[in-house]
A and B are shown apart, each in its own frame.
Chain A
Amino acid sequence: MSEHLLEVSDLRVTMQRRGLPITPVDGVSLTLDRGEILGIAGESGSGKTLTLRSILGLLPQGGVAEGDLRFSNDGGPPAPFVPTEVHGHGISIIFQEPMTALNPTMRVGDLIAEGPRIHQGMSKADARNKAIELMRLVGVPTPERRARMWPHQLSGGLRQRVMIATALSTEPKLLLCDEPTTALDVSVQDQILGLLQELRVRLEMAIIFVSHDIAVLGELCDRLAIMYAGQIVEIGPADEIISEPKHPYTAALMASVPSFQGTSEDLQGIPGHPPDPAAFTSGCRFAPRCAFAQEDCEQTSYELTSMSDDRATACIHPEMLAQT
């Protein structure tokens, strides 16, 4: 089973801003195996959410995605697909804010049943039973009663569980998660992460999880991709990236996270700001903020270089970081 479930090559998202084209996602390539959890980490504006949404064609108005997307729904080799047609047919998505993502005029049972009815032509009664079964699967207590409730009657954690049930209703091979736990309390976030791990094992489903929180991604993901200014700067096994970052941006990001175990020494932070998409250069975009930048960093064009079988970094001077 060396065939990938999803292959994204050279994805580019172009948008118009005040009449000028900008490229907030600029040449992202990644692959995903069956049943694998891939995390995409990055700060606001890094293009992580746009990358995720391009897979389903859910771009903001005026956004155009180019690049080669391949997905395998039937176990064969990955084949090109039309993003807008694959939603509900092998790929589902869950969002950050379950209150705005759930239709407030539908009872939650009907919301979950809508997918199977439309995409799989299931009868009304079957779909309703399936909805209750799914609610039980994602850990909603008393699903028969809750299925008749409206979204506003549920707590944030239950709404997120309902949204997951909605996404699972079409039996996806791949679940896209767009910061699904950011709006939740830590105790509920912990429950949802445990649920996603469990579902991955039980349903053999792959997950792409986008978040700004590296600690969350480290707990959940098998592999991790770090994005900066529309590009992947580092990708590899999550544990290795966290314990031994090879890109100065990853290292600086890790040093900015206040830790539990750490002391109250000053946190590092990263001086300056990420570049504006209108000012993206072809060289290393992190170089102006990088503590290890060399003269040729801003001239050499971006390329993700393999360090080993499963690790790659876009840094052209990884030895500078390794020396510290």
Chain B
Amino acid sequence: MTALLEVKNLTVNFRIGSAMAARLRGQPPPDLKAVDNVSFEVERSESVGIVGESGCGKSTIAKAIVGLVPISAGSVELEGQPLTEKRDQATTRRIQMVFQDPGSSLNPSLTVERTLAELLTVHKIVPKKEVPERCGELMDLVELPRSLLRAYPKRMSGGQRQRVGIARALALNPEILIADESVAALDVSVQAPILNLFNALRRDLGLTVLFISHDLAVVRHVSNRVVVVYLGTVMEDGPTEQVFNDPRHPYTRALMAAAPKFGVKKEPGKSALTGEPPSALDLPSGCRFRTRCPLAQDICAEKEPGLVESETDAEHLVACHFGWTEPPA
């Protein structure tokens, strides 16, 4: 059975700097590999969390899936059909995105009703005379009062705006919802019900959700599978409970150790990870995490580890030479 969404060896390069200057120096034009050979599958009604630090390429993966950035190599397949950057309306409708900052991603000069009605009419989702009713239903779906349909985005709170952002994505009856840091700008008391809403949408509508976040606790709450990304490649991929209870990649372990936890006091001068990620323009040889890895051995500099599944569980994959064995002391 093919998965609903399959990302196969996805690579996204960004050309940076001047190609002319490079040619004069007799070098190929510099490319920044934002996403490097990333593969994962998303089953229908699954919720997959993609976590990583800023600059690791998690948002670029999302943009490549919806077709907002060109794919340099590899493919994104929807039910086995490769998606290109140019896609027809019907395909566009199937994958929708919710952005981080609803303040800047909603048109400030349109009321909520016009924002939603425009989508419903342009994509001919419902007959014209049913548009107002459908707008109301969408508001119910995201748990907003219908009276807000006449409001402008600037009159609403951050949480309400984010709900409108979700309603806008749902207006096109998508199969896949991609949430790119959708709760990062919200206070926890507002964030909590929105996370619950994502869970409810998945449960009630059978929606497939791709949840992109830097916050491990948030991802744990909304996903049943998590993909950990570092410098454009997948480090670990597995069922949420397993990855959180028994992280196999030293990077995943360090991320978890770094996240603040209740009831733990910070020790002076101690930190889980030292240094910062190397530049994506100048990647270390072999494993790209080895410069910060507490387990690094000679082999890590020589050979880049591929994703290897666990002997006991084919769902749990780790890209580390010592993922499933103990490293030599």
Contacts and interface: CB of A to CB of B under 8 A. Distances in A.
A256 B191 CA distance: 8
A267 B258 CA distance: 23
A47 to B, nearest CB: 14
Given A185-B53, A190-B273, A269 B266 contact: no
A155 to B, nearest CB: 5
B269 interface: yes
A187 B192 contact: no
A212 interface: yes
Interface string B183-215: 000011111110110010000000000000011
B193 to A, nearest CB: 4
Contact of B222 (A157, A212, A262, A264): A264
A242 B263 contact: yes
A258 B195 contact: yes
A260 B268 contact: no
Interface in B230-280: 240, 244, 254-274, 276
A257 interface: yes
Contact of B266 (A43, A194, A255, A268): A194
Given A187-B258, A218-B263, A258-B217, A266 B189 contact: no
Contacts, number: 136
Interface stretch (A68-76, A98-106, A110-118, A195-203): A195-203
A201 B270 CA distance: 13
B54 interface: yes
B263 A258 contact: no
Contacts of A220: 266
A186 B53 contact: yes
A273 interface: yes
Interface in A20-78: 43-44
A219 interface: yes
B139 interface: no
A209 B141 CA distance: 39
A170 B84 CA distance: 57
B189 A239 contact: no
Given A155-B276, A185-B214, A267-B196, A194 B187 contact: no
Given A155-B276, A194-B271, A258-B218, A219 B192 contact: no
A268 B274 CA distance: 35
A273 B189 CA distance: 9
B259 A197 contact: no
A178 B112 CA distance: 35
Interface residues of B, number: 46
B166 to A, nearest CB: 15
Nearest to A45: B187
B63 interface: no
Interface string A249-284: 000110111111110101111100100000000000
B221 A264 contact: yes
A178 B222 CA distance: 30
A219 B261 contact: yes
B53 A187 contact: yes
A185 B267 CA distance: 19
A149 to B, nearest CB: 15
Which of B189, B214, B265, B266 neighbours the largest number of chain A CB atoms within 10 Å of its CB? B189
Given A270-B189, A273-B157, A187 B254 contact: yes
Contacts of A213: 260
Contacts of B190: 269
B98 to A, nearest CB: 18
Nearest to B219: A258
B146 interface: no
27 contacts: A44-B187, A186-B53, A186-B258, A186-B260, A187-B276, A190-B257, A190-B271, A194-B269, A195-B269, A198-B269, A212-B187, A214-B188, A219-B260, A219-B265, A219-B266, A253-B189, A255-B192, A256-B188, A256-B192, A258-B220, A259-B262, A260-B256, A262-B221, A264-B220, A264-B221, A269-B189, A269-B192
Interface of A: 43-44, 155-158, 185-191, 193-195, 197-198, 200-201, 212-216, 218-220, 239, 242-243, 252-253, 255-262, 264, 266-270, 273
